[in-house]
Amino acid sequence: MPDQTTYMHQSIAQSVQDHGIDTMFGLVGDANLFLANHFVTGCGGKFVAAVHEGGSVLMALAYAQASGKVGVATVTQGPGLTNCITALREGVVARRAIILLCGDTPVTVPFHPQNIDQRELVKATGAGFEQVKSPETAARDVATAFYRARAERRPIVVNIPSDFMWAEVKHRRIVFPVERAQGVVTDGPIHEKAIGMIASARRPLILAGAGAASAKDDLIALAERLEAPLATTLKGTGLFAGHPYNIGYFGTLSTDRAYEVIDKADCVIVFGAWLHFLTTDRGKLMDGKRVVLINQEPSDIGTFFQPDAVLMADAGQTANNIQYWLDEAEIPPSGFAPELHSADIAIHPKGDPNKSTGGCINFEYALDRLNEALPQNRIVLTDGGRYITEVWCRIGVPDPNSFHMTDNFAAVGQGMQQAIGAAHGDPARPVVLFIGDGGFMMGGANEFNTAVRTNCDLIVILCNDSAYGAEHIQMKDRQMDTAITEFNWPSFAEVAKAMGGEGVQVTSPADLETAIEAIGSRTGPILVELKLDPNTVPRMRI
């Protein structure tokens, strides 16, 4: 509706639709009510109502990853925004492009009971802040926020004084394109140095992170030319699954056999990763090795580890360029990858169902069985807790974009909300969430009904050891009373049923098969509660 006279709240809602967004998450209050309403009634959009304001931001984060679009959420003023602080920080650390349309108290009422300096709150999280300066600039201010979210890869809060909402304005469609720089290949001394390190390596290894996911075929071609093993970071999980050179994770999540292969390597060629300290096992896995890092993100360089050579370049083009120079110099294949064991060394030893204790299921066995039985085209999310590293090691995903880590800020209780966002971002695929009992009670129980209300295809695997497991094991290690870490929870399977979903409790291998049948015949969100012994859940692989 170009140059059409309308109200400012309508113009803002229309600006969201102008950016190709058809889904908004939020919780309405008096400072954002009419904006959200017009997005539905005037723009034909879908509004997903969360139970908690922070939940709406988390939903938008996962929606952004699953859909490839900018996620949009809206909350009201004051406590509406303060309830989003942890979620905004999660978005900053996860580098998710989202917009939070946040109402603010009227500028003419400085003593409003919900008044707080919203700019300072947002700044503390590391998110960006975009002020709606006047009703006339609202559409441009929203467009600027969308541009910044994509360019800066972080949440941008659009701050909207509520006394502007009913001001009359002329709406104009404003969308600022984000021009991505073309992929480049480096040259000069540092390029030659890197090529020399790779050419002289006798046992090279290729490591890929999520930033190199689009270059999968090029990296495999380079690995086959070098006869080099292929490994990934946690966020690159699934990239090389099924390839004979694949050794799985690089770092503390590696299998024992993969760790041995990594230890033997003399050169690690890293694509699209920032070499987190757990990826390098606190530097131990890089001792005595030359490390070449190819990455286009300057902020990723040297955060945890300083490589021997850094190429600020495109992953796929650089892999092809390396292969070209290897051919030109007639460098023979290393023969390192064919030395690998014939068995799949990326797979951890299978769990034993006979190790299930009374009233509990063996966790490793349950994960292995679920990995076989869960839908293969799944999107997988993990909440925080002691159990998560075992899930990462045993539950596969089709590709890196199908894996969502929901605790980049190391905050428990954010998984359910993001699972709902992922389900709305890619509704054609089933979403599987692994969450602990503490995380479910902290942030999952209140939003499970949102999944039911919005008919998400959601499978929740609740790992219930009736304790805050990481803290429980620390107390046990010091021979201290663990009572303060233990909880007598209700039946989570029954809670799921009470909220309108399906629920199955698992205490034995037979129960697990019943749960798998229920997953296969599900008609809506389903929760499978794995009863676990807090003293036998594997320790975190860190």
CATH assignment at residue 35? 3.40.50.970
Task: State the DSSP string of 478-519.
Answer: TT---GGGB-----HHHHHHHTTSEEEEESSHHHHHHHHHHH
**Final residue in a domain of this structure, among 311, 339, 367:** 339
The answer, yes or no, to whether residue 437 has pLDDT greater than 50, is yes
**What integer is the mean pLDDT of 69-96?**
97
Label residue 479 left, alpha or beta by phi (over 0 means left) and psi (-120 to 50 means alpha).
Answer: left
**What integer is the mean pLDDT of 298-316?**
89
Strand 4-7 to strand 168-171: parallel, antiparallel, or no bridges (unpaired)? antiparallel
Per-residue pLDDT tens for 52-75? 999 999 999 999 999 999 999 999
**Final residue in a domain of this structure, among 308, 339, 370:** 339
The answer, yes or no, to whether residue 388 has pLDDT greater than 60, is yes
pLDDT at 469: 81
Please report which confidence band the pLDDT of residue 138 belongs to, taking 50, 70 and 90 as the band edges.
very high
**What integer is the mean pLDDT of 324-350?**
88
Q: From the CB of residue 234, how many other CB atoms can be counted at a distance below 10 Å?
A: 21
Q: What burial class does residue 144 get, using C-beta atoms within 10 Å of its C-beta: 0-12 exposed, 13-18 middle, 19+ buried?
A: middle
Q: Which residues, 6 or more positions from 6, have their beta carbon under 8 angstroms from its beta carbon?
A: 14, 168, 169, 170, 171
- Residues 33 and 28: their CA atoms lie apart, in Å, by 5
Percent of the chain with pLDDT over 90: 83
Q: How far is CA 79 from CA 27, 116, 164, 471, in A?
A: 12, 9, 20, 30
Domain for residue 114, yes or no? Answer: yes
Per-residue pLDDT tens for 223-260? 999 999 999 999 999 999 999 999 999 999 999 999 99
Same domain, 214 and 152: no
Residue 71, SS3 per DSSP: strand
Domain for residue 19, yes or no? Answer: yes
Domain for residue 232, yes or no? Answer: yes
- In contact, 357 and 507? CB cutoff 8 Å: no
Of 81-90, 94-103, 529-538, the least confident:
529-538
Same domain, 119 and 229: no
Same domain, 262 and 361: no
The tally of domains found in the chain comes to 3
Same domain, 219 and 134: no
**What integer is the mean pLDDT of 344-368?**
92
Domain for residue 482, yes or no? Answer: yes
Extract the tokens encoding 520.
């296969």
pLDDT at 403: 97
Give the CB-side neighbour count of residue 25, counting CA atoms within 13 A: 35
Angle in degrees, CA 24, 25, 26, rounded to 5: 120
**What integer is the mean pLDDT of 103-119?**
89
The answer, yes or no, to whether residue 216 has pLDDT greater than 70, is yes
Same domain, 208 and 165: no
pLDDT at 3: 63
Q: How far is C-alpha 327 from the chain's CA centre?
A: 38
Angle in degrees, CA 231, 433, 380, rounded to 5: 30
CATH number for the domain harbouring residue 332? 3.40.50.1220
- Residues 83 and 66: their CA atoms lie apart, in Å, by 24
The answer, yes or no, to whether residue 174 has pLDDT greater than 90, is yes
Report which residue type is found at 297: E
Please report which confidence band the pLDDT of residue 107 belongs to, taking 50, 70 and 90 as the band edges.
confident
Same domain, 255 and 391: no
pLDDT at 2: 52
The answer, yes or no, to whether residue 194 has pLDDT greater than 60, is yes
- Residues 97 and 94: their CA atoms lie apart, in Å, by 9
pLDDT at 1: 44
Q: Which residues, 6 or more positions from 239, have their beta carbon under 8 angstroms from its beta carbon?
A: 208, 212, 213, 216, 232, 399, 400
Same domain, 328 and 375: no
Same domain, 477 and 362: yes
The answer, yes or no, to whether residue 484 has pLDDT greater than 60, is yes
Please report which confidence band the pLDDT of residue 181 belongs to, taking 50, 70 and 90 as the band edges.
low
Domain for residue 539, yes or no? Answer: no
Domain for residue 136, yes or no? Answer: yes
447: domain range? 353-531
Domain for residue 51, yes or no? Answer: yes
Domain for residue 31, yes or no? Answer: yes
**What integer is the mean pLDDT of 107-132?**
93
Per-residue pLDDT tens for 13-47? 999 999 999 999 999 999 999 999 999 999 999 99
**What integer is the mean pLDDT of 416-444?**
96
Give the helix/strand (H/E) hosting 2: none
pLDDT at 298: 81
Read off the pTM.
Answer: 0.94
Same domain, 108 and 257: no
The answer, yes or no, to whether residue 540 has pLDDT greater than 90, is no
**Final residue in a domain of this structure, among 171, 205, 223:** 171
Please report which confidence band the pLDDT of residue 481 belongs to, taking 50, 70 and 90 as the band edges.
confident
Same domain, 203 and 166: no
Same domain, 325 and 398: no
Task: State the DSSP string of 245-261.
Answer: TEEEE-STTS-HHHHHH
**What integer is the mean pLDDT of 5-14?**
96
- Residues 472 and 483: their CA atoms lie apart, in Å, by 8
**What integer is the mean pLDDT of 263-280?**
95
Same domain, 400 and 279: no
